């Protein structure tokens, strides 16, 4: 949580925490670590950069959807 989160309404803090917990429940860290390793090896390949960007974007959207379903 950012330092300014203590000024946020309780509902907003709850939403952010649910979003982050969704990342943990989905185990998003593992494919993202693998993707970063692939990108590091293929740093010269623009497709690798785009793929990592898309993976992160889809991960964020999936967690947003999980929060909205709750």
User: What digits encode the pLDDT tens for the residues 58-67?
Assistant: 999 999 999 9
Q: What is the pLDDT of residue 2?
A: 84
Answer yes or no: are the C-beta atoms of 68 and 16 closer than 8 Å.
no
Low-confidence ranges of the chain (pLDDT < 50): none
Q: What is the pLDDT of residue 42?
A: 96
What are 8-15's contacts with CB under 8 Å, separation 24+?
A: 15/67
pTM: 0.85
Q: What is the pLDDT of residue 68?
A: 96
């Amino acid at each position: 949580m950012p330092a300014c989160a203590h000024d946020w309404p309780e509902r907003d803090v709850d939403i952010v925490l649910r979003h982050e917990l969704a990342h943990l429940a989905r185990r998003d860290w593992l494919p993202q670590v693998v993707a970063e390793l692939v990108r590091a090896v293929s740093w010269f390949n623009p497709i690798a950069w785009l793929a990592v960007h898309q993976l992160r974007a889809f991960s964020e959207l999936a967690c947003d959807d999980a929060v909205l379903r709750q």
